[in-house]
Amino acid sequence: MKKKSLFILFTLFYPSFWWLYYPPTCSAHYRQNENPNIQRKDWKLLKDFNFPLWLVAYLPPPKDGIKTREVFLYLEPSYFNEENIRTAIKQLSPKFRAFVFSPYEELQITIFSDKEMIERAVKTARLSVCFFFDDSEEGKRAAKEYYDNTFPLKSGYFRAYYYWKPDEKEQLIFSPDPNSEKVFSIPVEAK
């Protein structure tokens, strides 16, 4: 009898870019009844900037679980630099934080320079099930294939992540080299 590589499903509650810090063993989120089909024609060009920045998706916090507001943005590679990232965060984060009415709410902003990867980030943020793969070679291959085809890749494009909680310091993480998995914390305010 052939051993199955996928053996358990259940729901967990994590911020959507937890996979940035930990090797993926689970795809999980709490947004259930949302349409994961993103159409590029629905992206909104934000005209308050002197560079082309697109709002791909805004996910308000769910009724239950971690109260995280999530914003997904696309910025073309030629404009992806620390100054533009800081400008985007400084202008957008107060607008989205203005809707925070609870000390338990959080804000996450994800900015990618690759259209497919930002769409993957939105789709995985909307997942509501968790997949665990067994520890066999077949399970490891199945997990790698699943994550390589579902989650944003860890390199090959520029990435920036902003995280804010009302009672904690804000954090901005940036990848200056699109071909490296390394990301660095940078101050939101330029020095």
Q: Going residue by residue through the chain (191 aa), what tens digit of pLDDT does each one get?
A: 444 444 333 333 334 444 443 334 444 444 444 455 566 778 999 999 999 999 999 888 777 666 788 999 999 999 999 999 999 999 999 888 766 566 667 889 999 999 999 999 998 887 766 778 888 999 889 888 988 888 899 999 999 999 988 777 789 999 999 999 999 998 887 65
Between CA 146 and CA 133 the distance in angstroms is 10
